[in-house]
Structure 1
Amino acid sequence: MFLSSRIVRILASIGLLSLVALAGCVTSAPVQEMSDARQAIAAAEEADAAALAPAVLDEANRYLSQAEQQLRQEDYGLARANAVRAKNRAVEALTTAQAESD
């Protein structure tokens, strides 16, 4: 359990640093960040996070949905930030699901 919460804290820190670093790079669509978020959510779903960490997975999906809407509106800064948030929450859901299934 200690390792899982430590991993989550590290990933959250990385996510915050990513948001700060990405703040200056808002002129292009966040293609990579969107892809990363979708892949992280798919991995969490495959690990049965829908049953083992449903609230966190739902939050990841909400962030991704917001990012998709912002992408359509060409609000790339917010889309990028929400895609990163979605990925981070999906990784947390995955970590929780893996810990619960062990």
Structure 2
Amino acid sequence: MWSQRLRTALVIALYLSVLALAGCAATAPVQEMSDARQALRAAEQVGAPQRAAPTYETARSLLESAESLLQAGEYRAARDKAEQARSEALKARQEALDAIP
């Protein structure tokens, strides 16, 4: 009897855990989008569009992709693109700073 109750409790706990994880993935990546936009602005402020054009353009393109995915409701893919955009924007910012004489 106890074994059946334990199994039922474990199945319920597992089910709730899966629902919780699915809920995390289904939320819009608001923070990631904001972080990517801020990183792009920071890169712009140090002249990345001129001094680190290829990397800056990659970051901008990734952010545009993230925005399109967000509009399509593809939150997980949008989150990934936004994180990539942030990373590239930070790289562009550093390249621009390194190019300052």
TM-score after normalising by structure 1:
0.75
The total of aligned residue pairs comes to 79
Deviation, structure 1 residue 27: 1.2
Question: Tell me, which stretches of 5 or more residues in structure 2 are unaligned?
Answer: 1-22
Rounded to whole Å, the distance in 2 between the matches of 1:87 and 1:70 is 16
What stretches of structure 1 of length at least 5 have no aligned partner? 1-23
Between 1 and 2, higher relative CO (CA 8 Å, sep ≥ 6) is seen in: 1
Q: Does 1:32 align with 2:31?
A: yes
**Which structure has the larger Rg over C-alpha atoms?**
2
The secondary structure found in structure 2 opposite 1:74 is coil
Alignment of 1:1-102 (within 5 A): 25-102=24-101
**Letter of the structure 2 residue corresponding to residue 75 of structure 1:** E
* Sequence identity percentage: 41
Q: Which moved more, 1:82-91 or 1:25-34?
A: 25-34
C-alpha distance in 1 between matches for 2:25 and 2:88: 22
Once residues 60 and 71 of structure 2 are traced to their aligned partners in structure 1, the CA distance between those partners, rounded to angstroms, is 17
What code does the residue aligned with 2:36 have?
A
Deviation at 1:53, TM superposition (A): 0.3
Instruction: Tell me by how many angstroms 1:62 deviates.
Output: 0.5
SS of the equivalent of 1:69 reads helix
Q: 1:20 — aligned with what?
A: none
- Please provide the CA RMSD for this pair: 1.2
Please give the TM-score of this superposition, normalised by the length of structure 2.
0.75
